[in-house]
Amino acid sequence: MAGGVKKKLHLGRLHPFRCGTKSFQPEHSLIGGPGFSRVVFCNNTESQRVLTYGNNYVTSTKYTLATFFPKSIFEQFRRAANIFFLITAILSFTPVSPSSPVTSVLPLALVIAAAMLKEAMEDLRRKKQDIEVNNRKVKVHRGEGVFDNAKWMNLQVGDIVRVEKDEFFPADLILLSSSYEEAICYVETMNLDGETNLKLKQAVDATSKLHEDSGFQKFRAVIKSEDPNANLYSYIGSLQLEEQQYPLTPQQLLLRESKLRNTDFIYGVVIFTGHDTKVVQNSTAPPSKRSKIERRMDKIVYLLFSILVLMSFMGPIFFGISTREDLENGTMTRWYLRPDDTTIYYDPNRAPVAAILNFLTFIMLYSFLIPIPLYITLEIVKVIQCTFINQDLHMYYEEADKPAKTRTSNLNEELGQVNTILSDKTGTLTCNLMEFIKCSIAGTAYGHGVTEVERALARREGLPSAKEVTNGEGQVENSNKAAIKGFNFFDERITHGKWVNEPHADVIQKFLLLLAICHTAVPEVDEDTGRLSYEAESPDEAAFVIAARELGFEFYERTQTSILLHEFHPISGRKVQRSYKLLNILEFSSSRKRMSVIVRNMEGKLLLLCKGADSVMFERLTKNGKEFEEQTQEHINEYANAGLRTLVLAYRELDEEEYNKFNEEFHEAKNSVSADHEELMEKVAEKIEKDLILLGATAVEDKLQNGVPECIDKLAQAGIKIWVLTGDKMETAINIGFACCLLRQGVKQIVISSETPKIKALEKVGDNSSVAVAFRENVLEQILEAKESLTTLRKSSEALALIIDGKSLSCALEDDVKGLFLELALGCASVICCRCSPKQKALVTRLVKIRTGRTTLAIGDGANDVGMLQEADIGIGISGVEGMQAVMSSDIAIAQFRYLERLLLLHGHWCYRRISIMAKLPTMIGICHSIMSSSRQFLW
C-alpha cells in the first residue's frame, strides 16, 4: 500500500524552540539496569520472539468463564445472612430439621441466583466493550514494505504500525515519522489526562525521512527502554540505528488511547502492549461495592445471630433436663413421647446428646429471626428506585437524548450519605469549549456577554437577572448560547465592520490582526461543507482565531513561510487578501507566560506581536505604550472577577539591524545541545520582547456546563465537600475553580508546587538522587507551613483553598506524608489537584475514603477517570463526548453535572430514608416475634 503524500508545511518554523540533535541526558545512563531493561527489535519478528512480552489483548472484566462461578459465589457469601442460611439449608437435609428442605433451600437459591444474574449482566457489558476495542483494526507492516490491516489484540512488541488521522493509537508507540517532513504530529490526550488541547510530538532525525510504506522494507533498529510503569509524563529510552545511538524522550512516545489529530498518518513501533501500556498500568480492577447500610445489616445479623444462639441454647438445657427425667424408676413422666421406645432425639439415657441435637432444631425453628425475606424485599425496592431514577424527566438531557441510567442497584441509599465529591474538570464541569466573550481595546471594554459566574453571583446575592443583549435591530440576542462554537461575543460597536467608526480604529485593527497571526493553529477545510475550522494546541488559541475571523480578519492558509489572511479593509469596506511572512515564533511556556511572533508585512515592516499574562506583559511596555494601561488593568480585574481567562496583547515595530542581531543569537541558542538549552532560548527571547505598545486584553470563558455553579453551590450548602482532580495545568484549574464557584474572591489559596527555585537549581546540576531527596523535603516543608497557616487562619474564620500539582501530590501520597496532607486538605473549604495522573486520582479517592470513613462519590467522563470511579464508594459517569469508558465503569450514568444535585439531594435522600425504614421494621418485628415464640415454647 503506497504511503500518503507527505506534507510540505515546515512546522519546525512554527515551533522554533526545537533544538538540534539532542545529547544523552544523565538519566539515559540507567538504560540496561534494573527497571530499564526492555529490549525491542523493531521490524524483526525472529529476534523479538526470543523475548516474550505480553500480547496486546486488554480486558476490564471482573470475571472469566472459569472464574465467574467461584468468584460470584464468594461475593454472595460475603453477606453474613447468606452464610447463615447456607448452614440452615445444609441442616435441613438432616433429621434435626423440623421442616422440609425446600423451605430453606428455595429462598436462598432464588436470592443468590438473582444476584449472580445481575453480576453476569453487568460484566457482560464490560466484555462487549473489550471485544469492540480489541478487534479494532490498524495497519501493520507484514514485510516487503506492505502494510495490512490487523486487529489490535494481535499486535506484538516490535511491530511497525501506520496510524491515520483521527485514529486511536493501539498500543504505546515510539514515533518514527509522520506525514510532515519534520516528522511531527499532533496528539489529543483527552482520554488520558482530560486535556482537549493538542500535544506536539516529534520523531528523532534519524527516522524522520521514512514517509513511504516501502521505506520500511529493510528498516531494522533496536530500542532499549525503561520497563512498563504507570508514569504518563516520563519515558527514558534509546534507539540504535546503523551503529548510532539516539536518545528517546516523552517527545517520541505515543500512548494507547490517545488520538492522532491534524496529521494524515504516522509510523510508529510498538514498545508496550496490552497490560504493559501506561494507560492500563494506571487502571484498577473493577471492585465489588457494597453500601454502608448493607454492611451495617451484616452487623445486625451478627447481633441477631447471637440472640438466636442464646435463645436456642436456653431451650435445649431445659429439654435435656426434662428428657433425663422421663424414665426414673420405670416411671414415664412424658409417656406420650414413648421414652421407652424412642430414637436418640428423646432418649432419656442419652439426654446430653438429645439436648445438642435439639439445639440444632431450635436454630432452625428460630431462623426466621434472620430476615432473609428482607434481602429479597430490599432488592425489589432498589430495582423500583432505579426505575424512578432512570425515568426522571428532570435528569433527561434532551439535546443528546440521554436519560440517567443506574448500572447497579446496590448503592441507591449511598447517594443520600455522600460526604465528599471528587470531580474531574474537563468534560465534567466544562464543555471542552473556550468562548471568546469580551475584550478591552484601547481602554474601551467591548462585549456584553454574561458569564456563568456573574449569573450565579446575581442569584446568590438576590440581584436582578443579568441583562439581555440586544443586536443592532433591537432584537434580543441569546447570551447563554453561542451561535458559533468558540465565539460568544456581542457588541454592535465592533461587529460587522463597524469598528472602523470607533475613536481608536487603528488600534482595533492591530488588535484583530494580532489575534489572526499570533498563534500556531492550522486551518482545515471541511470537504463536505467547505466550512473553515482550526486545529490548535489549546482551545483558547482556537477561540482567538475564530474571533478574529468573525470580526473581519480571517486566517485561511499557512504556507511554509507565511500566513495568509482575508482582511477587512477599513477604507473600501471589502475583504482583501494579505500575506505576512512568518519569521519566528517564540512559544508560550509556563515560565515565560507569553507568546510572540515576528512577521514582515507586505509593506516590508517588521512586527513583533505578543500576547501573555498581565503579570509579565505590563512590565515590558515602553513608556509611550502605556496610554491605556490603567483602564485595561481595571477591565482585566473585572474579567477575572467574572471567572474569565485574560491575556494582554501588545506589539512593536522592529528595525532591521535589531532583528538581524536577534535572529543570529536565536538560531545559535536553538541549535545548542547544552543542559541549559531552554534557559538560553528564554534569555534571547527576553531581549526582543521589550518596549511593547499596549493594544488591549482578551477575555475568554472556559465554558462550564449549564447549571454547574448553582449545582456546586447547592451541594456546598448541603455540607458536601467538593475536590477537583484534573490533568490540566494549575492556571487553568484555578480559573475553572473561580468560574464554578469552587473558589471565590477573598479565599486564601494555599499552593503546593514543584516549581520552586531551589528544585530548578538542583535539576540544572543533574544530580537525580539529590533532586529526589530535596524535592520530597520541599513538599513536606510546604505542607507543614500550610498546616501552621491553617491553624492561624481558623481563628480568623478565613476560608482556605488548597491547590497542589501532580509532582507534589506524588510525594504527598507517600505513606508517611499522606496523613499530614489529608489533615491539611480536610481543613480547607475546597481542594484542587492539578496535573493528576489517572492512578493519582484513584489513590487520592482511596485516601479520602479509607481515612475519613465517610461516603465518597467520584464523577468523571473519560478513560482517565475510570480508576477514580471504581475506587470511590459511588462512581458517576458523564455520558459526554469522550467515549464510554467512564460510563461503562460507573455505577450510575448521567448526561450533565448539574443533574448531580437532584440525584443526591432528592433521589439520594428518599432512597436512604426508605431503605432505612425497610431495614428497621422487619428486623424489629422479627425480634419481637422471636421473643414471643420463645416465651410460648418455654411456657409449653
Residue type, 770: S
CA angle 20–24–28, rounded 5-degree value: 145
Alpha helices in 190-291 (DSSP H): 190-193, 278-281
Return the C-alpha cell found at 678.
Answer: 531552554
Neighbours of 92 (CB within 10 A): 20
Return the C-alpha cell found at 841.
Answer: 486520582
Alpha carbons 372 and 306: distance in angstroms, whole number:
16
Q: Which residues contact 759 (CB under 8 A, 6 or more apart)?
A: 771, 774, 775, 778
Alpha carbons 722 and 743: distance in angstroms, whole number:
11
Instruction: Point out which residues pair with 42 in neighbouring strands.
Output: 221
- Asked if residue 735 lies in contact with residue 723, where contact means CB atoms within 8 angstroms, the answer is no
- Asked if residue 344 lies in contact with residue 350, where contact means CB atoms within 8 angstroms, the answer is yes
DSSP-assigned letters across all residues of 204-218: -GGGTT--SGGGGSS
The H-or-E segment that residue 269 falls in is strand 265-272
Chain CA centroid to CA 72, Å? 30
- Asked if residue 179 lies in contact with residue 263, where contact means CB atoms within 8 angstroms, the answer is yes
Alpha carbons 903 and 909: distance in angstroms, whole number:
9
Alpha carbons 698 and 655: distance in angstroms, whole number:
28
Instruction: Point out which residues pair with 725 in neighbouring strands.
Output: 833
Return the C-alpha cell found at 98.
Answer: 423440623
Q: Give, in order, the Cα–Cα distances in Å from 404 to each of 408, 806, 891, 926.
A: 12, 32, 11, 37
Length of the chain: 940
By C-alpha distance, which of 328, 351, 326 is closest to 337? 326
Alpha helices in 766-859 (DSSP H): 768-795, 806-812, 818-826, 838-852
Give helix then strand counts, H and E, for the chain.
Answer: 27, 37
Query: Which residue among the candidates 424, 702, 865, 891 is catalytic per the annotation?
Result: 424
Instruction: Point out which residues pair with 575 in neighbouring strands.
Output: 568
Q: 3-state secondary structure string, 585-607?
A: EECCCCCCCEEEEEEECCCCCEE
Q: Going along 31-171, which residue ranges are E strands?
A: 38-42, 137-143, 146-151, 160-164
424 part of the active site = yes
- Asked if residue 836 lies in contact with residue 806, where contact means CB atoms within 8 angstroms, the answer is yes
Give SS3 for 744.
Answer: coil
Residue found under cell 504530529: 185
Provide the edge-to-edge strand list for the sheet that holds 172-178. 146-151, 137-143, 160-164, 265-272, 172-178, 253-254
- Asked if residue 14 lies in contact with residue 233, where contact means CB atoms within 8 angstroms, the answer is no
The H-or-E segment that residue 188 falls in is strand 184-188
- Asked if residue 294 lies in contact with residue 912, where contact means CB atoms within 8 angstroms, the answer is no
Q: Going along 601-637, which residue ranges are E strands?
A: 606-612
Q: Which residues contact 727 (CB under 8 A, 6 or more apart)?
A: 189, 192, 193, 194, 195, 426, 806, 834, 835, 836, 837, 864
Q: Which residues contact 152 (CB under 8 A, 6 or more apart)?
A: 56, 133, 134, 135, 136, 137, 138, 170, 171
Alpha carbons 272 and 509: distance in angstroms, whole number:
51
Alpha carbons 35 and 30: distance in angstroms, whole number:
8
Q: Where in the sequence numbering do the catalytic residues fall?
A: 424
